[in-house]
Amino acid sequence: MIKPSLLDYTQKELLTLIKPNFRVKQIFGWLYHNYANNFDDMKNIPKSLKEELAKAYVVNPMKIINKEESIDGTIKYLFELQDGKTIEAVWLKMKDTQFDDNGEVTQEAKYTICVSTQVGCKVGCSFCLTAKGGFTRDLSAGEIVAQVVSLKRDNNHKHNRKINIVYMGMGEPLDNLNNLAKAIEIFKEEEGLAIGGKRQTVSTSGLSNKIDQLGAMDLGVHIAISLHAVDDKLRTELIPMNKAHNINSIIEAVKRFPIDTRKRVMFEYLVIKDKNDDITSAKKLVKLLHGIKAKVNLIFFNPYPDTQYSRPELKDMVNFQEYLIKHGLLCTIRDSKGIDISAACGQLREKDKLDKTQKEMF
Ligand code: SAH
Ligand code: SF4
C-alpha cells in the first residue's frame, strides 16, 4: 500500500497530525538529525504511537537500489519509490577537505546534492536522456526531501554540516511547483536540515509564467535557466516548449525575479558541436544577457547511444568562454563531475534498465 511519508510535512503540519506536541519535536529530530529510515529507528518514541503512525505513514518513502561512485568523489544514486518507479540523485564533492601544516582540518569538504523532481519529464528536450522515457508522474514533497536525507545518511554527513541543493536531476522542477515549494520549505526548517533558500538553486528549462509564480512565493531561492541557445529556432529544436515560452519571455521573467542583490542568475548553456559552439552565438549571448547580473555555465554535451548530437571540442568551449569573459560576463565551464560514471541526468536509470535487460537475456 502506498502511504504518505512523514517527510511530506512541515513541522507545523506534523503538530496538527501527531499529539502530544513534544513528540513531534522528537520525531523531527529522528527524521532530520538522525535520518531515520523507519519507525524502528526512533528509539525514544513509544511503541503504541509508532504503531499508530505506521498505519497511516511511512518514514522514508524510498530505498537506494544502485550506487555508482566516481574517482572524483561524485556518487550517483538510483532510488526505488513505493510504486516501483525509479529516480536518480547525485552527491557531488565540490571542494576537498583542507588541512594546515599540522594536518589539522581547516575546512571541511563541501558537497552539493542534485535532486530529481519528477519521474521522467514532459518537456521533451531532444538532447536529454530523461526525456526519452516520457513523463510518468510528479514526485511528492517527501520524495524530494527523502533524496537529501538518504544521501546525507549514506555519507554520514552530520545534520548541521551545510550542504547545497540543486534541482537539476530528472524532471522539470517548475512543472511540479507546489511540491517543489513545499520541499524547499521543509529543507529550510530551522529544527530540521536548516538549508536556507540561498543554498538552493532551482534549474528550469524556462517556463516563464512559472518563474513568475516561483518569484511571487518569495522563498529566497536562486534560479538557473537552461538557455542552451540564443535564437528561438534552435532553442525550439532543443527544447520544444520554447514555442510557448520563447527566449524573450524567459529573459523578461528573469528580470522580474526577486534576486539577492549580491547574487547572479545562472544561465546554463549546453554546448553541442556544430550547433551552438560558434563565436556568433557567443556574441548573441552577450547581447541577450545585457543588463542582467548573470553568470554563464558552459556544459559539455554528454553523448549517449543513438543521440544525434556530439560533444563539443575543448578548444571551441574555451574560445566561447574567453569571448564571454572578454565582454564582461562571468563564465565557467562545468567540470564534468562523474564523467567515468553515468554523468548527465537520466543516464544511470537508463543504464540500470540496460543492465536488467542484459541480465534477462542471459
Ligand atoms: N529540467 C530542468 C532541470 C533538470 S535537467 C532543466 O532542464 O533545467 C538537468 C541539467 O542536465 C540541465 O541543465 C540539462 O541541460 C542537463 N542535461 C540534460 N541532458 C544532458 C546531456 N546529454 N549532457 C549534458 N547535460 C545534459
Ligand atoms: Fe526535462 Fe530538463 Fe531533460 Fe529538458 S533537460 S527533458 S526540461 S529534465
Residue 104 bears catalytic tag:
no
Cα distance between residue 178 and residue 156, in whole Å: 30
Catalytic residue from among 125, 128, 331, 345: 345
Strand partners, 226: 268
Q: What is the pLDDT of residues 40-67, one digit of tens each?
A: 999 999 999 999 999 999 999 999 999 9
Res 296 pLDDT > 90: yes
pLDDT at 362: 30
User: In angstroms, what is the span from residue 228 Cα to ligand 1's centroid?
Assistant: 10
Q: Which residues contact 301 (CB under 8 A, 6 or more apart)?
A: 127, 270, 271, 272, 273, 309, 310, 311, 312
Q: What is the mean pLDDT of residues 334-338?
A: 68
- Average pLDDT of 168-179? 97
CB 93 within 8 A of CB 72: yes
Cell 529544527 locates to 191
Arithmetic mean of pLDDT, 236-265: 93
Looking at the CA of 130, which ligand is closest?
A: 2
Looking at the chain, the domain(s) classified CATH 3.20.20.70 span: 61-361
Residues with CB under 6 A from ligand 2: 121, 123-125, 128, 130-131, 170-172, 205, 345
Q: For 202-244, write each residue's pLDDT tens digit.
A: 999 999 999 999 999 999 999 999 999 999 999 999 999 999 9
CA distance 59 to 45: 13
- pLDDT value at position 356? 45
* Full-model pTM: 0.93
Q: How far does the centroid of ligand 2 lie from the alpha carbon of residue 171, in Å? A: 6
Q: Quick one: what percent of the chain has pLDDT higher than 70?
A: 92
Count of CB atoms situated within 10 Å of the CB of 1: 5
Mean pLDDT of 248-268: 91
201 Cβ inside 6 Å of ligand 1? no
List, by residue range, all CATH 1.10.150.530 domains of the chain: 1-60
Which homologous superfamily is 61-361 in?
Answer: Aldolase class I (3.20.20.70)
345 is catalytic: yes
Right CATH number for 1-60 from 1.10.150.530, 3.30.460.20, 3.90.1300.10, 3.40.50.720? 1.10.150.530
pLDDT interval class at 33 (50, 70, 90): very high
The predicted pLDDT at position 360 comes to 34
Atom of ligand 1 nearest to the CA of 170: 4
Say which residue, 324 or 360, is predicted with more confidence.
Answer: 324
Report which ligand 1 atom has the smallest distance to the Cα of 300: 24
